[in-house]
Structure 1
Amino acid sequence: MAQVVVQDKGDLKALRHSAAHTLAQAVKRLFPEARVGVGPATDDGFYYDFHYSRPFTPEDLVRIEDEMRKIISQGLVIERRPVSREEAVALFSGMDEPFKLELISSIPDEAEITVYEQGEFVDLCRGPHVAGTGDIPAIKLLTTSGAYWKGIESNPSLQRIYGTAFWSEADLAAHLLKLEEIRRRDHRKLGRELDLFRTLDEKGAGLVLWLPRGSRVRRILEDLWKSLHDRHGYKYVYSPHIARLDLWKQSGHWDYYRDSMFSPMEIEGVEYELKPMNCPFHIMIFRESVKSYRDLPIRLSELGTVYRYERSGTLHGLMRVRGFTQDDAHLFCRPEDLASEIEKVLVLVDEMIGRFGFTDRTVYLSTRPEKSVGSDEHWKMATDALESALIKSGIPYQTDPGEGVFYGPKIDIKFHDAIGRSWQLSTVQVDFNLPEKFDLSFRNTQGEAERPIMIHRALFGSIERFFGILVEHYVGAFPLWLAPEQVMIMTIADRHIPDAEALLERLKSSGIRAEGDFRNEKIGFKIREAQMLKVPEMWIIGDREVAEGRVSIRTREGEKTDLVLRDEAISSLIERARPA
């Protein structure tokens, strides 16, 4: 018998799940030949996948959304009905829904099968849902994209329609405004407009070309990263980009990460592999250098470029690429030093990430997953050390059960940007597995061989992704200390060029990133062009500026300061341009 299951009015997941069913019902009304796939709720909306003979157009989305509103206005009751496997097969066979039949075949024999009905529309579903379509107050369809059935490239190609739903029109309007702000901040668009980077695309999808302006910012990030690591007792190393496949088999990456690794290449009859991780190389460096407990802890750091196979459909600007540089470090320590080393990492995280304005964060302690390696004793020791470090550091945290990596528990730190989005950046992971696989040891205080504990640690995550986050956080307007050019010197006429060139050289010799625009163009045009590139300051040289040894200053925000003495302007700039 069908039953109505009433959900809590605050349950956004139920609301959006019901909106997804309403979307599918509208598509089936307008395009009866369409076959439906799956339609889940997501963190910020919902989607539904369809197999149809042609791509859905923007005009189609308008029609579909109008039909959804008609269904909502009809106030159809949403009813849950348990069915037998035979009934489910007969039902969806009669509806000619092959994707639903495939889903039914994958449901375990002992599991209950349920369908949800609203008017003429029936869907295979576990729920939850609101009581009826009239309880869906605010919806909006957003975009379409391609998708493979079950995410497998060899499966049929489907069309995914995205939408969102909220309990009020005000909440929906606020969300749409945020989406517009996200589009304005899109690092892919800004990266092209500001000449920061390009992706190779047809010449190599997922690979990045750093242009001169973006490369300057990257170099600042790397120099800051290295100087802080020097100060915190890390030793910088370099490792190769490939190694024999045997290394990745010994480390376990070939077994656990093969789907994310490129195919091996044969060199002189031996298989080599592009590195997906830096850790095995750091282990080999440890083996070369460490003999005694007096050598510990060893903190090895590297800005190491790694390569991972990502499906083309998942690539996204700098956020998800196939070649990227991890800001990697691996620490090797005695068991009794584990908690204190983690504390020091947490201090370094704050010292590094806080410089970029990321102060709001959420911290997670991720514990042992179902599929893992290692003894209960090791897992408890590692989890206790991570928790102790968080408590001693006074850092509030949440436990994320079962979300550790297969070789050990971890701390994940998510930082929130200027518009409140959460980004996973820093991570600290404890590993007993690799030291055992590579038979690492040191002589302890009793002169006996003892196994060190290994800590995997990253602050940015990767240079590429962190750079993309920074572009969106600042909307491309980097602070003065981080900007590709801190000053653009501009001349009003050609006769002012010798004086401007001397000032430019003086700024450069003072360590300021300065450029000159001495073209025969109107000064207003030059200012607007520099503002479009988001250069922090423009120093203008004309007749009075030359005669009096001064500059007129304009900022990218449009503020004006006329006729400042050059010594004062340079001293002020040097002070303000210091790294945060």
Structure 2
Amino acid sequence: MSAGSEAPSAAITVVLPDGQSHELPGGATGADLAASLGRRAAKDALIAVAEGTQLDLNRPLPDGASVSLVFPSSDEGLEVLRHSTAHVLAQAVLRLYPGATFSIGPPIADGFYYDFDLGADEVGRPRTFSDDDLEAIEAEMRSIVAARQPFIRAEVDRAAADELFAQHPYKIEILDGEADDPTSGPTGGVITTYRNTDEFVDLCRGPHVPDTGRLGHFKLMRVAGAYWRGDENRQMLQRIYGTAWGSATELSAHLERLTEAAKRDHRRLASELDLLSFPAEMGGGLAVWHPKGSVVRKLMEDYSRDRHESGGYQFVYTPHLANARLFETSGHLDFYAESMYPPMEMDNGVYYPKPMNCPMHCLIFSQRQRSYRELPMRLFELGTVYRYERSGTLHGLMRTRAFTVDDSHLYIAAEQLADEIERLLDFVLSVLEAFGFDDFTFNLSTKDPDKYVGADEGWERATDALREALHRQGHSYVECEGEAAFYGPKIDIDVNDAIGRSWQLSTIQVDFNLPERFNLRYTGADGEVHRPIMVHRALFGSIERFFGVLLEHYGGAFPPWLSPVQVVVLGVRADHDAFAESVVAQLAEAGFRAETVPADDPLGARIRRAKLEKVPYVLVVGDDDVAAGTVGVNPRGHPVRRDVPLGKFIARLADEVERKAADVGSSSSTGADVSAAVAAASD
């Protein structure tokens, strides 16, 4: 070896996800690993993960590490793509709007956002984006993508960071540790930055795609206001939302889903179908239910009551407010005060509108001595609660300030827990299926090792009971380690709707906290005093939110048993109106919600109006029907049938409505039943 030459670095070995060892030259990077695995891996890999730590592809891999590559097809890959696209958004805005400053820009579900402060105009008014500005910003982003600018990581000290971000006060505040930023590095340790060009650098922990050319399948969606740090007393920033995907096909499919979701927006449908409204005079987050919406709500509540009554639950009612002492005992004033309405000073104490029903149910249990023979005790209430939500978080029925919870609290002996959880799962799923959901996701949240009440043994028993119930029924689930509330583990059940969106609805939650706080006790078979385990169970979540989810799931076209109007009867001409009214009378006598519309307008216009109102059945009657006692059946979404005997139609409709729990199914099942019903009635 000649003088001055360097010995080659020793080779390194990494372990791939399939367990195979893979040898690489010393100093090899994630990009080198991808290249060694083939052209496709080299082209598509975004970052590497070594021993659980995400690394940019140009960073060396540790010898002996377990290493995987991340691709755009994975959730982890999409998060990297979206994070990198957020940086490109920030670069474009700072280039187009001199003097603008930026704060944070994290990836989020289906996309990303970035928050900006555009400063003030010449008369001191805050500058804002408009939706029209998005086109120019997006064009600038595409020029940055086309330039294939590399993302260059650097570690800097605090003095260098202060110099880099001297003109960006929000970044300085992040460095000072006064704000949480999901995109920043730890302020007490290494400060990392990512630079695209000499003109743009961001404070960020990374990692990022190798260069901007890996991006491109994105679209800017909308502009919104957002307070810095979510504090309404701080600066109002301008937030730009975008979406980004791994391919043009995925982006197109997502935009199509958004278009369909907009058509199904429950706020628009509720207004168009005259179901409910949010009058400004009421204040934000407060709905009034119109007659048609109230019909659907009553059907939901009646079904829930019937199922709970047959399921061994006892009905209770509790007041809408209570003395502050109750919420001190329950801990809500310690842990939940920000979401409660202000106190009301009365001559005999301080009162609060109730944020939850559970403390009052505990009082019912504690009113007398209980025996093991009474357990499980299952209490049920449709109880309205009141929670203060910031105006910016309100969203129709999905997030309101007053809502009714289908609230159950079960008091159980420890040895009963596993069987009762399994029974609860059966109950919850059967009710959700009755309303048309059949695609579920289960999440099991386990103990946070640092924040919990109760003994470890109890937590283990409760968590094992939840696991066992899921295993017994064959449900796959995601275990969310450390995400349980401090008072007990839980199962969350999400449903996927007709267009594939996920909604968190039902919860089964074990609680060690309230039985302790309220000193709940029962006498066991051994004659000793024991403390029950408490289980919270919300099935709908809330009547309001569940109604909103149903409305969007069905696009307003409720199945017949839930439809506010099940049948509209139309005479072809005015001289058929009397027969149409007699058909309505027979339908009403059979228990159906039916109405007629006089022939003051052309038949086609009346049929179209009934279709727009999403009525399941439109019956048309003319001369032949008057003579024969038949109807023409125009079922929603299916072919028209003529000369159907009214009695047979009523019988088949009654059977369909009666079987609601078995065949509401998907939004298409109604049409299938209609076709079968009409065909059968015509035979």
Question: What TM-score, normalized to structure 2?
Answer: 0.82
CA distance in 1, matches of 2:394, 2:536: 25
Structure number with greater Rg is: 2
Mapping of residues 156-555 of structure 1, within 5 Å: 156-288=235-367, 291-369=370-448, 370-518=450-598, 520-555=600-635
State the SS of the aligned residue for 1:411: strand
Moved more, 337-346 or 10-19: 10-19
**Deviation of 1:202 (Å):** 4.9
What one-letter code is carried by the residue in structure 2 that aligns with 1:376? D
2:577 and 2:599 in contact (8 A); partners too: no
1:5 and 1:79 in contact (8 A); partners too: no
State the SS of the aligned residue for 1:58: coil
CA distances 1:445-501 after superposition (whole Å, capped 9, x unpaired): 122221111110011111111111111111111111211111011223333333322
CA distance in 2, matches of 1:339, 1:289: 26
Q: Which residue of 1 aligns with 2:26?
A: none
Q: Which runs of 5+ in 2 are unaligned?
A: 1-54, 59-68, 119-125, 178-184, 662-683
CA distance in 1, matches of 2:246, 2:411: 51
Q: Which residue of 1 aligns with 2:193?
A: 115
State the SS of the aligned residue for 2:107: coil
1:16 and 1:165 in contact (8 A); partners too: yes
CA distance in 2, matches of 1:4, 1:382: 41
What one-letter code is carried by the residue in structure 2 that aligns with 1:77? P
User: Does 2:169 match 1:98?
Assistant: yes
User: Does 2:218 match 1:145?
Assistant: no
User: Does 2:156 match 1:83?
Assistant: yes
What one-letter code is carried by the residue in structure 2 that aligns with 1:28? L
User: Does 2:129 match 1:56?
Assistant: yes
What one-letter code is carried by the residue in structure 1 that aligns with 2:175? I
**Deviation of 1:222 (Å):** 0.8
State the SS of the aligned residue for 2:535: strand
Q: Which residue of 1 aligns with 2:49?
A: none
What one-letter code is carried by the residue in structure 1 that aligns with 2:223? T
What one-letter code is carried by the residue in structure 1 that aligns with 2:194? Y
Q: Which residue of 1 aligns with 2:103?
A: 37
Q: Which residue of 2 aligns with 1:20?
A: 86
State the SS of the aligned residue for 1:206: coil
What one-letter code is carried by the residue in structure 2 that aligns with 1:508? A
What one-letter code is carried by the residue in structure 2 that aligns with 1:21? H
**Deviation of 1:515 (Å):** 1.7
CA distance in 2, matches of 1:124, 1:109: 11
CA distance in 2, matches of 1:326, 1:305: 6
Q: Which runs of 5+ in 1 are unaligned?
A: none
CA distances 1:303-351 after superposition (whole Å, capped 9, x unpaired): 1111111100000011111111111100011111111111110110121
What one-letter code is carried by the residue in structure 1 that aligns with 2:500? G
CA distances 1:532-571 after superposition (whole Å, capped 9, x unpaired): 0100001123332222211122123262111211111211
2:56 and 2:208 in contact (8 A); partners too: no
Moved more, 194-203 or 357-366: 194-203
CA distance in 2, matches of 1:509, 1:251: 50
2:151 and 2:210 in contact (8 A); partners too: yes
CA distance in 1, matches of 2:422, 2:271: 40
1:360 and 1:415 in contact (8 A); partners too: yes
Question: Higher relative CO (CA 8 A, sep ≥ 6), structure 1 or 2?
Answer: 1
CA distance in 2, matches of 1:548, 1:40: 68
2:382 and 2:404 in contact (8 A); partners too: yes
What one-letter code is carried by the residue in structure 2 that aligns with 1:102? E
**Deviation of 1:66 (Å):** 0.5
State the SS of the aligned residue for 1:350: helix
**Deviation of 1:199 (Å):** 1.7
CA distance in 2, matches of 1:293, 1:13: 51
CA distances 1:363-412 after superposition (whole Å, capped 9, x unpaired): 11110123222221221121122112222232222211011111000111
1:292 and 1:442 in contact (8 A); partners too: yes
2:117 and 2:238 in contact (8 A); partners too: yes
What one-letter code is carried by the residue in structure 2 that aligns with 1:216? V
2:453 and 2:512 in contact (8 A); partners too: no
**Residue among 142, 152, 161 paired with 1:69:** 142
**Deviation of 1:115 (Å):** 0.9
